[in-house]
A and B are shown apart, each in its own frame.
Chain A
Amino acid sequence: DTAVSQTPKYLVTQMGNDKSIKCEQNLGHDTMYWYKQDSKKFLKIMFSYNNKELIINETVPNRFSPKSPDKAHLNLHINSLELGDSAVYFCASSQMDRGSYGYTFGSGTRLTVV
């Protein structure tokens, strides 16, 4: 029973298209995140939601729009995809009042824009 699940695992699409990545966690955590991992493996936080409320919104093009319908789900929609959006996107979850728990990550979505 996967704790944090992302779909799809691979996504290949053409420039200019719009795509979505979905994330679900069954850990009962109240906070979820999107991270972008570039080709050098550097992890950059993009967004964070706590109980459906946006709490972290890093400098990310507004073509990226997160949506959290409930605290167990966090989706990422990307409009007008560009070559530079190619990366691995990770969803993660944590419990806001328990820094000692750390984060639990999904297996990632490898996005390739051609």
Chain B
Amino acid sequence: AQSVTQLGSHVSVSEGALVLLRCNYSSSVPPYLFWYVQYPNQGLQLLLKYTTGATLVKGINGFEAEFKKSETSFHLTKPSAHMSDAAEYFCAVSGNTGNQFYFGTGTSLTVIP
């Protein structure tokens, strides 16, 4: 069975500060891990994903995430927050088949000017 835990349903950072959104997963199989972003009044957009290979994954808009198997984590970071980063962020885990997809409960990111 797989599950995802996102610590912190709301995160606030100042513009220019580091963004860190936490995601821990549990999976009985090697997981595929995803971060999705949902801007206000829009659908979910893939930010980045880890499948195999390099554990540090770079995504769009300067975001990156590191897969740490020993910590069962896939935290999302960005060195310097922009106002446009304000959105809802979802971590998700998938198994080998496309219908084994589990979302976290989301983290709302607020960027303070």
Is the pairing of A and B real? yes
Interface residues of A (CB under 8 A from B): 29, 31, 41-43, 48, 50, 55-56, 90, 92, 94-108, 110
Query: What is the predominant secondary structure among interface residues of chain A facing chain B?
Result: mixed
Q: Annotate B72-107 by CB proximity to A: 1 below 8 A, 0 otherwise.
A: 000000000000000010101011111111010110
How far is the CB of B94 from the nearest CB of chain A, in Å? 4
In the assembled complex, 10 residue pairs joining A and B whose CB atoms fall closer than 8 Å, in A order, are A41-B105, A42-B105, A55-B99, A92-B44, A96-B99, A102-B34, A102-B92, A102-B94, A108-B42, A110-B41
Interface residues of B (CB under 8 A from A): 32, 34, 36, 38, 41-46, 49, 51-52, 88, 90, 92, 94-101, 103, 105-106, 108
Q: Cβ of A99 and Cβ of B43 under 8 Å apart? A: no
Residue from the list B38, B97, B98 in contact with A41, Cβ < 8 A: B38
